């Protein structure tokens, strides 16, 4: 498996495949790969001749320095895991910060028509400018035909679709279902940092989302939100940052239920100092 750390060498290698009319898929990641990432890679391989998996902990999307420092970095293990999927068709791009940002590690400013101000955007200042910056650069370097993102970061997925639309980038974006542990906890690279008692407690997040979905069938969004907030108030280990029911297109909080709109419930929770997010389709 080829592992590139420099964009120029990666571009050269990809040009050879492009000349042969090979299609290129891409799965952008920050590494510490888990089964959820592998499912994205498998999906990308079903539809493409070659798949570029980027592994890069992007500094400009972290609003919290400590989170950036503590983010797991496990390149060797990640490459070994990818080799179990496909040694030949997967190409790893694991750049240095300099290769991406040169001497200017700052994010561009984006207008995502307001999607960037909701939920994660409200709690993580500048986060989506960082995501937009890195994803746009990856697309400019790799020029993939297809790119795959998990629905766990549903807001990010909608923002990337908006980025592609606004900049007319020639790439098809595919969202893939959330991959969960058998106890329901959404797979995340951050889960590896959970202390045992928090790991045991964390499935409560999805359990509460599932119950909220059932309640949403008969109760108002306000009543469901109140119920969820109370569940977390009574929890010893998990601290709710937000719970929102939002329209999947605008990501704006629901005002009045409409059978013509699609809604999702979104949640962010602290388990000790680890921030976990999850979401569920409501209708
Ligand atoms: O979802 C992630 O892992 C990151 O936000 C992404 C899309 C790889 C950009 O750094």
Q: 24 - beta bridge partners?
A: 50
Helix or strand run (H / E) with residue 116: none
* Atom of ligand 1 minimally distant from the CA of 61: 10
Mean pLDDT of the chain: 97
pLDDT for 128:
98
User: Which residue's alpha carbon is at the smallest distance from atom 8 of ligand 1?
Assistant: 29
Determine the residue of 36, 132, 135 to mutate for testing ligand 1's pocket, defined as the one with the most ligand atoms within 8 A of the Cβ atom. 135
C-alpha distances in angstroms, 279 versus 61, 178, 212, 257, 276? 20, 9, 11, 18, 11
Which residue in 27, 24, 23 sits closest to 157, CA to CA? 27
Residues lining ligand 1, judged by CB closer than 6 Å? 28-30, 58, 61, 131, 134-135, 153, 156
pLDDT for 71:
95
Task: Enter the pTM of the model.
Answer: 0.97
C-alpha distances in angstroms, 26 versus 129, 259, 266, 268? 20, 35, 26, 27
Determine the residue of 71, 156, 173 to mutate for testing ligand 1's pocket, defined as the one with the most ligand atoms within 8 A of the Cβ atom. 156
If you measure from the C-alpha of residue 200 to the centroid of ligand 1, how many angstroms do you get, rounded to a whole number? 26
User: Which residue's alpha carbon is at the smallest distance from atom 3 of ligand 1?
Assistant: 29
pLDDT by 10-residue block (mean), the chain, 283 residues:
98 98 98 98 98 98 95 97 97 98 97 98 97 98 98 98 98 98 97 97 98 97 98 97 98 94 98 97 97
pLDDT for 255:
87
- Cβ atoms of 149 and 274 within 8 Å: the answer is no
> Is the Cα dihedral 19, 20, 21, 24 positive or negative?
negative
User: Which residue's alpha carbon is at the smallest distance from atom 2 of ligand 1?
Assistant: 29
Answer yes or no: 37 catalytic.
yes
Tokens linked to 248: 């999947």
Calculate Rg over the CA atoms of the chain: 19
* Atom of ligand 1 minimally distant from the CA of 153: 1
If you measure from the C-alpha of residue 189 to the centroid of ligand 1, how many angstroms do you get, rounded to a whole number? 11
- Cβ atoms of 43 and 175 within 8 Å: the answer is no
Determine the residue of 33, 54, 58, 161 to mutate for testing ligand 1's pocket, defined as the one with the most ligand atoms within 8 A of the Cβ atom. 58
If you measure from the C-alpha of residue 175 to the centroid of ligand 1, how many angstroms do you get, rounded to a whole number? 13
- Cβ atoms of 240 and 267 within 8 Å: the answer is yes
Tokens linked to 283: 């209708």
Cα(124)–Cα(62) distance, rounded to whole angstroms? 8
User: In degrees rounded to 5, what are phi and psi of residue 47?
Assistant: -110, -5
If you measure from the C-alpha of residue 138 to the centroid of ligand 1, how many angstroms do you get, rounded to a whole number? 11
Active-site annotation holder among 34, 37, 179, 235: 37
pLDDT for 77:
98
Helix-, strand-, coil-residue percentages of the chain, each rounded to 5: 45, 20, 35
Tokens linked to 88: 């030949």
C-alpha distances in angstroms, 114 versus 55, 82, 91, 117, 119? 28, 36, 35, 6, 11
Cα(12)–Cα(35) distance, rounded to whole angstroms? 30
pLDDT for 240:
98
């Amino acid at each position: 498996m080829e592992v590139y750390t420099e964009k120029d060498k990666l571009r050269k290698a990809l040009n050879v495949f492009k000349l042969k009319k090979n299609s290129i898929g891409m799965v952008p990641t920050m590494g510490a790969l888990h089964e959820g990432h592998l499912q994205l890679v498998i999906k990308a391989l079903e539809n493409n001749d070659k798949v570029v998996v980027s592994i890069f902990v992007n500094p400009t999307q972290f609003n919290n320095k400590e989170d950036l420092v503590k983010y797991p970095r496990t390149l060797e293990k990640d490459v070994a895991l990818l080799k179990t999927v496909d040694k030949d068709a997967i190409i790893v791009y694991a750049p240095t910060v300099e290769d991406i940002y040169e001497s200017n590690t700052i994010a561009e400013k984006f207008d995502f028509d307001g999607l960037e101000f909701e939920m994660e955007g409200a709690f993580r200042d500048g986060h989506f400018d960082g995501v937009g910056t890195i994803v746009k650069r990856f697309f400019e370097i790799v020029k993939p035909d297809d790119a795959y993102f998990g629905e766990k970061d549903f807001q990010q997925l909608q923002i990337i679709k908006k980025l592609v639309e606004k900049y007319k980038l020639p790439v098809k974006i595919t969202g893939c279902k959330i991959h969960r542990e058998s106890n329901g906890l959404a797979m995340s690279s951050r889960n590896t940092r959970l202390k045992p008692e928090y790991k045991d407690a964390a499935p409560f997040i999805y359990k509460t989302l599932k119950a909220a979905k059932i309640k949403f069938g008969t109760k108002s969004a306000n009543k469901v939100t109140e119920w969820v907030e109370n569940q977390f108030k009574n929890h010893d280990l998990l601290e709710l940052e937000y719970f929102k029911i939002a329209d999947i297109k605008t990501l704006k909080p629901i005002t009045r239920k409409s059978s013509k709109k699609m809604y999702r419930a979104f949640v962010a929770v602290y388990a000790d100092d680890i921030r976990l997010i999850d979401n569920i389709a409501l209708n």
